[in-house]
Structure 1
Amino acid sequence: MRITSQQNPHVKYLVSLHKRRERDLNQQFLVEGVREHQRLLASSYQIESIWYCPEITDRSEVASSLLEALQERATAGATQISSSVFSRVAYRGSSEGVISVVNQPTCTLSDLPICSIPFYLVAYGLEKPGNVGSIIRSADAVACDGVIVCNPRTDFFNPNVIRASIGTVFSVPVAATDPLQLLQWAESHEINLIATSPNATNSYTDTDLTRSCGIVIGEEQRGLPKSFLKHVAHTVRLPVLGEGDSLNAAICAAVMLFETRRQRSDT
């Protein structure tokens, strides 16, 4: 079957998944891009269906071989769509001609792995999908045990989260929660919450990050609420010596993640 009309119900459904409301309602999301699909195939995520434009995939050996691998995993198989339909469905300009519909897994604290001395990254109240995706990418780079979004203002399966993470969202355990559940979970698993704050007295390099911990990064403009900070084990600061008074949340997270990995590698 080949779909050429943008008014086709399947096409309208695919376009609807650009919106978080529809992703949450249907518990499905879209994946585009070669690297993203390669990491999707390496994961246990369930692929529902494939939608591809042969006019694009036939021009690339990589896209053609990727399409074959995806077809073997897709529950509902693959459907051809015209170039005009593909342009309508694709969230970004270049997607190598293949789009997948993937079922959302559960993303709760109970789904996170608990090892002997774990460390997690907690992103509190972040709303920019690019920041969340970049944080997941950094977490993957240091083999962080999971990324937790507290009071999420975006979802893990926003197309820009997937793109900024270059597909590592499929390999890093992720969870969404609220502050109370986070504090209860951390206490029950003896995980020290260590929050970054410009008002902290201790430098991040002088803080012991070799124990079980959750590094908490706040929203860029507002930071972390005082009502939450009073419950964390430690607050640390990242020295800022220039005119700016803070760092981008994703950069702050990367610094903390790599410092945690450095300390653990030295012990």
Structure 2
Amino acid sequence: MSDTGHGHISSTRNPRIRHALRLRQSAYRRAHRQTLAEGYREIEAVLRNGVPIQTVFACEELLLTPEGTELAARLQSRTQTSGGRFHTVSRHVYGRLAMRASVGGLLVEIKPPVHSLRGLVPHPNERLVVLEDVDKPGNIGAVLRTMRAAGSSTLILATHGRGGTDLMNPNVIRASVGLCFDLRCVEAPVEEVVGWLNRQQCTVLAVSPEGRSLYRTGGLPGTVACVFGSEATGLSPIWRDVAHAVAAIPMTPGMDSLNLSVSVAVVLYELLRRGLSEPD
């Protein structure tokens, strides 16, 4: 595998490497609108969705499988046609770049798509998910996987400006196995999200322990926005004011919470059951 003239990097002081390392910082990612993806399935999702690849870092010593070699060749071809960069790197440099062990010797620097509420239109009768101030990337990634399984295609992160997890976080990409590129993901202030839901005439289902049992909640017509808070703080009061229904997931005595992705799964599949339809 040649390096297409872009050069081999053996020092962590190289400007390309220093830039990539700084992309682990949220403020730096946001300023440059770039992030990192590693892992074969995650990179396949990048390619599948046409996400612009700006730089590829490949460690030939770690490309030990036909799958890895073939993927590296496709990445090399993509950078040749798109004007991106392809660098081979030493094992030491790759060790500094990699965010987890055993990811196969490939890491890509990408410019992920940025969606906004302004251009977002719900699909007919969609069950979309709203997460308020969820700050754990692993939770967001797990929710995305749950949504994909249940046929939900839109995730909105509603924030109060406290610097929660951003959708470009490499750990969101990892935890979702790249599904963050397959689904429509938007981040916006809570007030804007509430206004958008109202304009789109969405039925708002707030999920909170203070509600009545999910299984006794009445009809939820049209497009339904299922709103969840963080495991630590739950939903803010604004959602009780705007919700058409507040539902609780019933639990046996002694239990007061579920993992966020489990809660999302319970609600989405209950709505599917009511519609007697299979996930798309």
Q: TM-score range by the shorter chain?
A: over 0.9
Contact (CA 8 Å) 2:41, 2:177: kept in 1 or not?
yes
Quick check: 1:30 aligned with 2:36? yes
TM-score, length of structure 1 as denominator length: 0.94
Q: CA deviation at 1:113?
A: 4.2
Name the structure 1 match of 2:264: 253
TM-score, length of structure 2 as denominator length: 0.90
The equivalent position to 1:96 in structure 2, one of 92, 96, 104, is 104
Q: Deviations over 1:32-54 (max 9, x none)?
A: 00111111111131111211001
Identity of aligned residues (%): 27
Quick check: 1:85 aligned with 2:56? no
Name the structure 1 match of 2:3: none
After superposing the two structures, state which structure 1 stretch, 161-170 or 108-117, moved more: 108-117
Q: Deviations over 1:167-215 (max 9, x none)?
A: 1111010001111111111111110110101011242464434521100
After superposing the two structures, state which structure 1 stretch, 119-128 or 148-157, moved more: 148-157
Quick check: 1:185 aligned with 2:191? no
CA RMSD, 1 decimal: 1.7
The equivalent position to 1:62 in structure 2, one of 37, 61, 67, is 67
Matches within 5 A, 1:216-255: 216-255=227-266
Name the structure 1 match of 2:224: 213
The equivalent position to 1:20 in structure 2, one of 16, 23, 26, is 26
After superposing the two structures, state which structure 1 stretch, 198-207 or 116-125, moved more: 198-207
Contact (CA 8 Å) 1:52, 1:97: kept in 2 or not?
yes
Letter of the structure 1 residue corresponding to residue 191 of structure 2: L
Contact (CA 8 Å) 1:207, 1:236: kept in 2 or not?
no
Q: CA deviation at 1:142?
A: 1.8
Matches within 5 A, 1:110-189: 110-151=118-159, 153-189=164-200
Q: CA deviation at 1:125?
A: 0.7
Aligned residues: 266
| Whole-angstrom CA distance in 1 between matches of 2:227 and 2:78 | 37
Contact (CA 8 Å) 2:51, 2:110: kept in 1 or not?
yes
> Cα–Cα, structure 1 residues 11 and 266, in superposed 2: closer, same or farther, change >3 Å?
closer
Q: Detail structure 1 runs of 4+ shifted over 6 Å in the superposition.
A: none
Q: CA deviation at 1:119?
A: 2.0
Match of 1:198, SS?
Answer: strand
Contact (CA 8 Å) 1:210, 1:264: kept in 2 or not?
no
Name the structure 2 match of 1:7: 13
Contact (CA 8 Å) 2:127, 2:268: kept in 1 or not?
no
The equivalent position to 2:78 in structure 1, one of 73, 76, 88, is 73
> Cα–Cα, structure 1 residues 204 and 48, in superposed 2: closer, same or farther, change >3 Å?
farther
User: Any gaps of 5 or more consecutive residues in structure 1?
Assistant: none
The equivalent position to 1:52 in structure 2, one of 54, 58, 66, is 58
Letter of the structure 2 residue corresponding to residue 184 of structure 1: G
| Whole-angstrom CA distance in 2 between matches of 1:205 and 1:166 | 35
> Cα–Cα, structure 1 residues 64 and 209, in superposed 2: closer, same or farther, change >3 Å?
farther
Q: CA deviation at 1:88?
A: 0.3
Contact (CA 8 Å) 1:47, 1:101: kept in 2 or not?
yes
Letter of the structure 2 residue corresponding to residue 107 of structure 1: H
User: Any gaps of 5 or more consecutive residues in structure 2?
Assistant: 1-6
Q: CA deviation at 1:111?
A: 4.0
Q: CA deviation at 1:77?
A: 3.1
Name the structure 1 match of 2:4: none
